[in-house]
Amino acid sequence: MTQLQQTYQMFTTPTDITGMASGLENQAVENPMPAANALAGLLGGQTQPPGAGQAFYNQNHVYSPTDDSAASTQLNANAAAIANIQGMAATNLAAIQQRLQDLPSLESDLSTATSITQITAINGRIATESQFVQGQQAQAANLQVLATEQSQSQDQQAEEQHAQESSTLAAQYKAAGSQ
């Protein structure tokens, strides 16, 4: 009779999978990246670096031009954009590291499981964590694309600035020659 009761309890008692590896149950680990609609401001440098981005900005920034020229504005925006990209990458890496630190507790739960229901629940939790890791890998790949495109955008901006300066000088030269 006891074995029948244990079997009944095994199938009817739910296993709390969110209680397993509780350090993994927070937004900063599950999805550390900013919302997609915030990326334009972050990558364009219009949004100042938050969190980890601010640390990279402070560490790598040397000078901020204070005149209001287009070139100075762009230089400041590029510095913020680079720091934002570094901050997003560092935040994503920190989330992955946190996940790696907490995964051994799932292994421990698996080794101490006493029923097939618990084992199934733990395996489900491991599968969920695998999905989170795959999501973060996709985010990291997209971040790499965004960083590459940001670099190309900065090169384009420099060329445009040079073309604008050349046009301005040519117009000034032409105006001076016609006087």
Q: Which DSSP category does 178 fall into?
A: T
- Residue 141 belongs to some domain of the structure: no
Mean local confidence (pLDDT), 45-71: 86
Instruction: Work out the percent of the chain whose per-residue pLDDT is above 70.
Output: 83
pLDDT bracket for residue 15 (50, 70, 90): low
- Residue 67 belongs to some domain of the structure: no
DSSP 18-83: GGTTGGG-SHHHH--SPPGGGHHHHHHT-SPPPHHHHHHHHHH------S--HHHHHHHHHHHHHH
Backbone phi, psi, residue 64, to 5°: -120, 115
Please state, as a whole number, how many other Cβ atoms lie within 10 Å of the Cβ of residue 135.
Answer: 13
Structural domain containing residue 102: 42-61+72-108+128-136
- Residue 81 belongs to some domain of the structure: yes
- Residue 148 belongs to some domain of the structure: no
User: Please, what is the average pLDDT of the chain?
Assistant: 81
Count of structural domains within the chain:
1
54 neighbors 87 (Cβ within 8 angstroms):
yes
